[in-house]
Each structure stands twice: as C-alpha cells, then as structure tokens.
Structure 1
Amino acid sequence: MAWDFQELFRRHAKEIARALRRRGLAEDVAADLTQDTFLRVMASPPGEATQNHNPRAYLFEVSRNLSINYHRRQAIDPTVYVDEDAMIRVADPAPSAEMVVYSRQMLRQIADALEELPDKTREAFILHRIDGMTIAEVAERLGLSNTRAWELVHRAYRHLLLRVE
C-alpha cells in the first residue's frame, strides 16, 4: 500500500476534525484525535488485502473509534478543567522536598567555605553581603581603606565561587 499521507492530511484533516467536533468533542481534543488518527494509520496501515480500500473512509473509521475510546475514558476518569485563578490557589508555594535538601546542602557548603576564610575577610563579607553595608561602611567599621575592604569582600566572593558547587 502506498498512501500519500501528506496529501491525505491536507485533504481530510479539517473534515475529520469537524466530524469529531460534531461528535461533541472540544476543538483542542478534536485536533489531538485528528493527529492521532493519522499517526495510528501511519503506524499500522490497513492490510494488503485492502489495496482498493477507500483511504478517506478508513481515516474516518479510525477517528470514530478513537473518539469512542476517548468518551469511554472520560466516563471512567473525566478530565476536569480548572481556571487559572483556581490553579494558583491550589498550587503549593512550599518548595519540594528535593529543593529543601538541595538548599540545605548549599547552605552547609557556604557555611564551611566561610569558616575557611580569615576572620577579617569573613567579617567584611558578612557585613557587606548579609548586613547590606556599602563598601565604605564596611571599611569604616573595620578601620580599613575602601580599597582594602573591597579586596577582602572580593576575595571572599572568589573563595565561595570556587568552593560551592
């Protein structure tokens, strides 16, 4: 059998989708089942005994069967559509267990890396990054020049980048 599936799709996809919508399916479901129809026929075309088979009729038969299966599945386990506002209320803002474990590991690595720093470097970094002080304020607090305070903070950043994955 040598069906030209591109030509069949061009000629019959819209009318198959229209027929599926007439069977009570939503537009997006009809479009999905139309594609499934062509995929199903491409994956397992009719046997060689049906060489003179009408491709259009065969495609409509496959799409009808797929729609029947879809309706059966919906009767057993219906799809419930929820609007976006309801989804936002349902979504859990808490991080997943994996994210909690990952964050704790990162914090442990950062704490270990900070402990490896000399006292002045660690203090300069904490004042700048954690306490939110400017470099000038860090320099004044530690009794250093602005350039030296910046060097300490910069050294701490470099060390953290090298040590933390």
Structure 2
Amino acid sequence: MLSIQASADPTDLTTAGFVRHLGAVRRFFMKRAPIADVDDLVQDVAIRMHARRDGRPIDNIEGYLFQTAHSVLADRGRRAGSRCQSQHESLEDRHHPVEDRSPARVLEGKEQWTLLLAAIEELPARSRQAFILHRFEEMQYAAIALHMGITVSAVEKHIMKAIRHLAAAIA
C-alpha cells in the first residue's frame, strides 16, 4: 500500500490534501478498476500530484485529485485498448509444465531405449533397413525403394512389419 507522510510545511497543500483524501481516491478506483490495479492507480495519481509542484495553490484540492484520478483511469483504459490488453493471457506455471526428470524416469527411459534397440536388431534385415532409412534417415518411400531395389509397396510392407514388431516389443 502507498504510504505518504504529510509535509510539515503548512504551505504544501498538495501533499497534505492528497494524504487527507487518499482513502476516497482508493475507493474511487476500487469501484472502477480491478482490485489488483488499485495500488498502481493511486500511485499514478501521487506521481502526477508530485510532478505538478509548480508553487501555484489549488483552490479545490478534492476536485483536482478526483479529476486527476479520472484522467489516470482514462489513460490506463486507452493504453490497455491500444495494446489489446483484454486479448492477452497471462503466462502462469500451468502454461509451462515442468518436465519431471527424476532419476526413476531417466532410468525408465533408458530401459525403454534398450528394449527398442534390441527389438530393432531382432527385425529381418530388409525390414530393419527400410525402417532405419525411413525413421532415422528421413528418406521417402520412393527413395528407399530405389535405394533397396524394391517396389514402394514392398517398402510400405517392411515398415509396417517393423512398426508392429516394435510396438509389441515395448508394450
């Protein structure tokens, strides 16, 4: 919460007036803005009051304060509108799930990897070659067929055979 001490100088009516009406300014903002923004808005009014120190007296300090508060609120609304702030979504922890890299999970991943490698080794040579060329070398079926000297249909059958075998091995 904003804490302002009234000046000991009796001629400093701006600070004294602001402190005297601080509760009313807060209530003004609480009715018109999200509660999370109230302290910032009150602080913006205090900054404007402080920046105004030109020595000229203010006849109606309460009216001046509320006019300043209204201007601060209007400026905040214009700024939020021009930045499309209502369309923004705050980033929270639920938007960035932390991956659990516990020792047990790492060990489980290594065991699955070992099972997968063993299952790849168990594949017939042609199926293993077609699978490796497609999944690890990222070759298209037509390129694999040309490389291996077989038809595209045969490549498809070898890869499907490999996938079925690997799925059964890790299940």
- Settle same-fold status: TM greater than 0.5: no
TM-score, normalised to structure 1, is 0.43
More helix by share: 1
Q: Rg larger in 1 or in 2? A: 2
TM-score, normalised to structure 2, is 0.42
